[in-house]
A and B are shown apart, each in its own frame.
Chain A
Amino acid sequence: MTLLPRSLQGRLLILVLCVVTGVWAATAAMTWRDVRHELDELLDSHLAQAAALLVVQQAGEVGDGHEAADVPTLHRYAPKVAFQVFHEERLALRSPNAPDLPMAGGKSFSPGFATVKIEGIAWRVFAAQGAERDVQVYVSERVDSRASILWAVLRSTLWPMLLALPLLALVSWWAVYRGVAPLRKLGGSLAKRQPQALQPVVVAGAPSEMVPLVDALNGLFDRIARMIESERRFTADAAHELRTPIAAIRTQAQVALGESDDALRRHALESTLQGCDRATRLVEQLLTLSRLEAGAAPALVSLDLAALVRQVIAEAAPQAMRCQQTIEVEAAAHCLVQGDPILLAVLVRNLVDNATRYSPQGATVRISVAEREGRVVLLRIEDSGSGMKSGDIEHLGERFFRVLGTGQGGSGLGWSIVRRIAALHQASIQVRKSTGLGGLTAEIEFPAQLIGQYPVSPQHA
């Protein structure tokens, strides 16, 4: 990993180094200030003391006619300090490194501390004079000698930190590198993955911070796998549902072509037509479903569901009567719902069609529309057929799901259509065993109708 600002490692490293450097700089600054203050106080007091000694000494010793004398240099450090003793404005005594002129920076004598430049070098000077004001003493010290003491003190405290800084950088770089290793591992294993591979990711030793990420990722894989599986099943089921009627049509047509017996040929031709009807219905259902899935939400109007149901039943009744089935409708005078009349007619037709198709001859199908408490409208379709296993009920609404072995050529799309239309109307669906008739009960509950809207009669059913 590189130290890019976008990289987590780079960011952490820069942050750590900045904080450490800041603390280090602050420590250095505070040490500098404190040491310098203490040092100035100490050395200034030494200067003052030395000057006082010289004044006292000079007052006793200095006689007239003495020539200026240089004090011998006693120590190699001596050049860093200097002094001058003037007696009656004449230089009486000085250190070898002191100039002839008073170290007052060209100004007149003023007692106390001053910093002056002599021959380009800064000196800290303390000036004092005797009681008679005939003796003037300058004691001075090079300013850079103070700085070097200061540096020496600071060096000893700051050096270790300076050394520690790169080491710290290295250690934190390594720690972060190790810390994000599971992330790298995760990235690596994801990069190597085949698109079809949807098994969960396992990162050994993942830190707790990474667990939500890995969990979310695995959740996503799981959902994708389920989606792919459902699409795969849909394709397989669609292939089956589309091919079977075509295969039947083809086979029956071929039988009719090859049949010499009139009655058998007629039977084969009638079966061919039946197959065509079935294929047509399947295609219509598929188109309805795809329009429902692709289309925008329909414009809902206020309509009378009871009237709509009666209209649909009137159309479905002849087919049911051919099978000696009884259709009963119990509908209140008006049951207003918000809906799309065409879609609701498709919904009711599909439910009634299912009930009659999967119930035997002589069965009863009961449809009721009623307003419930809270102005909820309930559409219930009940039959006396053989019902469904609870396991099968769960699959209702999956495209092309059909209970096998019913001997009925349904499309397997009716419930998908019903569910889709119900969802568009915010209606809930309940399917269970019918307590009254013993077959299947489907209940569609429409949400409460807004008061004050006028019903329109269903235009299409």
Chain B
Amino acid sequence: MRILLAEDDPLLGDGLRAGLRQLGFQVDWVRDGQAAERELRAEPYAAAVLDLGLPMMDGMEVLASIRRAGSATPILVLTARDAVPDRIRGLDLGADDYVVKPVDLNELAARLRALVRRAHGQPQERLTAQDVVLDPAARSVLRDGVPVTLPAREFDLLHALMLNTGRVLSRDQLEQRLYSWGQEVESNAVEVHIHHLRRKLGTALIQTVRGVGYMVQRENPSP
């Protein structure tokens, strides 16, 4: 899952990026409000962690601006401002969650997963499609109740497809969801990962829509 981190404090930003990476997120880190606004408008992040006291453009302004522009990216405001009026204003301006520093990394990750799940209309933490169950928190995959070991990138790819069951994702969209800045993407990387996933989970789960992209369907169309 690729998320945007907007935090101007070097020490905290560095820690959050490292911690969220450990927990399986692809993290892009920006240090000012203008960059945060620009990135959120341009890239399809699964979610964003937004500090409020950002230079150049206040976090609240970023929030208001991207919501005005119609972005539905789930935003978690992570701030030291704990006054109730601030919380209310943040939520009213379009924040999906409001967390006061300091925060436990595991809790932050869980909240981000919950935001992403809700944004995709998934009621449960575990995603199910056909005979495959994916647990984003444990980063585990079961096929017919049997654990299947997947490398991080393949897990993320499957996660993205299962979050969007019944929708076709193009190769570009998948790449944007899988790779953070500075990570090199080979031209056929997505095809290679899909190939591996099909080998481990069967060919029925991920369908190719020619010329468009890939899709996971909840029920097996040809049982």
Interface of A is mostly: helix
Q: How far is A38 from B56 in the complex, measured between Cα atoms in Å?
A: 101
Q: How far is A403 from B53 in the complex, measured between Cα atoms in Å?
A: 11
Check B192 for interface membership: any CB of A closer than 8 A. Answer: no
Closest 7 CB pairs of A and B: A405-B55, A251-B15, A404-B55, A247-B102, A247-B101, A248-B12, A243-B80
Let me know if B15 and A244 touch, CB within 8 A: no
Let me know if A274 and B82 touch, CB within 8 A: no
Let me know if A274 and B19 touch, CB within 8 A: no
CB-defined contacts of A245 to chain B, threshold 8 Å: 11
Q: How far is A373 from B124 in the complex, measured between Cα atoms in Å?
A: 79
Q: How far is A271 from B82 in the complex, measured between Cα atoms in Å?
A: 25
Let me know if B32 and A405 touch, CB within 8 A: yes
Give the contact stretch, choosing among A186-194, A223-231, A252-260. Answer: A252-260
Q: How far is A271 from B16 in the complex, measured between Cα atoms in Å?
A: 12
CB-defined contacts of A235 to chain B, threshold 8 Å: 83
Name the one of B11, B22, B79, B100 contacting A248, with C-beta atoms under 8 angstroms: B11
Q: How far is A406 from B8 in the complex, measured between Cα atoms in Å?
A: 9
CB-defined contacts of A406 to chain B, threshold 8 Å: 55
Let me know if A258 and B53 touch, CB within 8 A: no
Check A409 for interface membership: any CB of B closer than 8 A. Answer: yes
Number of interface residues of B (CB under 8 A): 30
Check B92 for interface membership: any CB of A closer than 8 A. Answer: no
Q: How far is A240 from B23 in the complex, measured between Cα atoms in Å?
A: 26
CB-defined contacts of B32 to chain A, threshold 8 Å: 405
Q: How far is A250 from B18 in the complex, measured between Cα atoms in Å?
A: 13
CB-defined contacts of B152 to chain A, threshold 8 Å: none
B14 → chain A closest CB, angstroms: 6
Check B105 for interface membership: any CB of A closer than 8 A. Answer: yes
CB-defined contacts of B100 to chain A, threshold 8 Å: 243
Check A122 for interface membership: any CB of B closer than 8 A. Answer: no
Q: How far is A242 from B10 in the complex, measured between Cα atoms in Å?
A: 15
- Given A250-B104, A267-B18, A404-B54: 11 more A-B contacts, CB < 8 Å: A239-B80, A243-B101, A245-B11, A247-B101, A248-B15, A251-B19, A255-B105, A258-B105, A264-B18, A271-B15, A409-B9
CB-defined contacts of A251 to chain B, threshold 8 Å: 12, 15-16, 19, 102-103, 105
Q: Which B residues from 123 to 177 make CB contacts under 8 A with A?
A: none
Q: Which A residues from 396 to 421 make CB contacts under 8 A with B?
A: 403-407, 409
Check A268 for interface membership: any CB of B closer than 8 A. Answer: yes
Check A23 for interface membership: any CB of B closer than 8 A. Answer: no
